[in-house]
Structure 1
Amino acid sequence: MTGKPEFITVDGAPIALRYRAGSKAQGITWLGGYRSDMLGTKAETLDQWAAANDHEFLRLDYSGHGESGGDFNEGCISRWLNESLTVHHQYNKNPQILVGSSMGAWITLRMTQELIKQGKGPAGIILIAPAPDFTARLIEPNLSEEYKKSLIEKGYFEEPSEYSPNPFIYTRKLIEDGRQNLVLTDIIETGCPVHILQGMKDEDVPYSHALLLTEHLPVDNVTLTLVRDGDHRLSRPQDLDLLTRSLDMMIAQINN
């Protein structure tokens, strides 16, 4: 059973995290999606895998998410990126394989860019149903006049969620800040292998978006796995098995 989280304060918000030490050469860092938390099925599966294989494992809830404090409506990519980097620098001891899901894949790619600037790029990257630049490429082009009006007048709009009785809230701050964090504008240098797992029945992030992402990554170290009957969550037993097998393959690739 998952124990209680630790907390560190970043920009005034208490950020909840769970850290597992390990002796192996690479650690694993989990970066979750929009409105998700670190106790989801995929994160728990990775924690069990890390415990069984003696790998360091770090996960956190962004401000306004899960067990962390802070106002969700004050969140944006820049803020959640800074929280992720702060937690990473304070806890991780080893080179990391960054595992990002949905929006967490966007934060993973931005985190990679920042870590490379510091000369400490990741050892590997796994992206699940990646949604980089989703505000600019998936939300803004499809905004109805009603949603545009709500953004102007209220500073946000609400959209029904199939995952929760509460609607998804998208703020003007999130959308405007997203434009400052775009990654699908040029080649994304990662300096490490990248594995992408994408469901072809994903109704939230179409698999064409994953294909677009591969066009912006160096060709020689990218593996794209399309799951024909997979949805956005990729949380079925066979999907979780694919995730851990991908992790095993990446570690073998790194250490070969």
Structure 2
Amino acid sequence: MSEHAAKFLSVGPDNDTRDIAFFHRPAAAGARTPMLVWLGGYRSDMTGTKAIELDRFAAENGLACLRLDYSGHGASGGDFKKGTISRWLEEALAVVRATSPSRVVLVGSSMGGWIALRMAEELRKAADAPSVAGLVLIAPAPDFTVDLIEPSLTEAEKASLLEKGYFEEHSEYSPEPNIFTRALMEDGKRNRVLNGIITTGCPVHILQGMQDPDVPYQHALKLLEHLPADDVVLTLIRDGDHRLSRPQDIDRMLSAVKTLAL
């Protein structure tokens, strides 16, 4: 855990303000290295194993590091059921801009991989934004609402989306069920990245477990097809699961980060 206390940034208009919690570790004096940005997955937070290990790596190497909780996650305010990719992307971009880095390495896990890809797109379009020095995508789940959830919806889940505006699904990682809203599903269509060439303008390293029950490794192969112009490395981990939080998995993540940031 960072020795610095969590800070909060208010994001959104007055009638929809969310207080977004984040930890920001400044770089060592005189450092010219990019800031590491941790983008977590759906229903995860910035105190998970991979996020903490990334912060530790930053501390040991004098790197700046930013971790945040999306609204409805962890220590942040806001209603989880209002969460969408656009909304969580807006929050992540706001926190990054508030810390004023000149360059960033985006480290996205699961849904955070989708947000990292969208963030790279948005930063490339903005004149006053930091440049993206690299992406590390861990079991990335771009377009998961369209490609992974919609095709497997049951009739009961479809009915629940129409009638209630959401459906619930058992979670392997929490006693509370996952909640997928109609707003999330519809917004997912507007944020698709696997429908054309993805131009990140930077090296990309993908880590994917082949025993991942949530994001099949074939999804990483599909992502690879949309990144033909970039310097892309895909590491398939034969016995890896979705979390990729074992010591050997953490070592792979940090090795990829080191290659891009140091």
Aligned residue identity for 2:200? T
Decide whether the 8 Å contact of 1:58 with 1:92 is kept in 2: no
Give 1:58 shift: 0.5
Partner of 1:5: 6
Distance in structure 2 (CA, Å) of the matches to 1:41 and 1:163: 14
- The percent identity for this pair of structures is 59
> Matches of residues 36-47 of structure 1 in structure 2 within 5 Å?
36-47=44-55
Distance in structure 1 (CA, Å) of the matches to 2:126 and 2:155: 43
1:148 aligns with 2:158: yes
Q: Name the count of aligned residue pairs.
A: 252
Aligned residue identity for 1:205? V
Unmatched 5+ residue regions in structure 1? none
> Matches of residues 61-76 of structure 1 in structure 2 within 5 Å?
61-76=69-84
Structure 2 vs 1, CA of residues 116 and 220 (structure 1 numbering), >3 Å: closer, same or farther?
Answer: closer
1:133 aligns with 2:143: yes
Partner of 1:160: 170
TM-score (structure 1 length as normaliser) = 0.96
Deviations 1:70-96 (A, max 9, x none): 000001000000001100111142300
User: Which of 99, 104, 122 is residue 91 of structure 1 equivalent to?
Assistant: 99
TM-score (structure 2 length as normaliser) = 0.94
User: Which of 17, 20, 42 is residue 22 of structure 2 equivalent to?
Assistant: 17
Partner of 1:115: 123
Distance in structure 2 (CA, Å) of the matches to 1:247 and 1:68: 26
Distance in structure 1 (CA, Å) of the matches to 2:205 and 2:41: 17
Aligned residue identity for 1:8? L
Give 1:220 shift: 4.7
Distance in structure 1 (CA, Å) of the matches to 2:24 and 2:59: 11
Partner of 2:64: 56
Distance in structure 2 (CA, Å) of the matches to 1:28 and 1:94: 11
Unmatched 5+ residue regions in structure 2? none
Give 1:249 shift: 1.9
User: Which of 214, 236, 241 is residue 246 of structure 2 equivalent to?
Assistant: 236
Decide whether the 8 Å contact of 1:25 with 1:94 is kept in 2: no
1:27 aligns with 2:32: no
Distance in structure 1 (CA, Å) of the matches to 2:81 and 2:230: 39
Aligned residue identity for 1:66? G
Distance in structure 1 (CA, Å) of the matches to 2:230 and 2:176: 42
Decide whether the 8 Å contact of 1:110 with 1:183 is kept in 2: yes
1:216 aligns with 2:226: yes
- Between 1:88-97 and 1:156-165, the stretch displaced more is 88-97
Q: Any idea what SS the aligned residue of 2:46 has?
A: coil
CA RMSD of aligned residues (A): 1.1
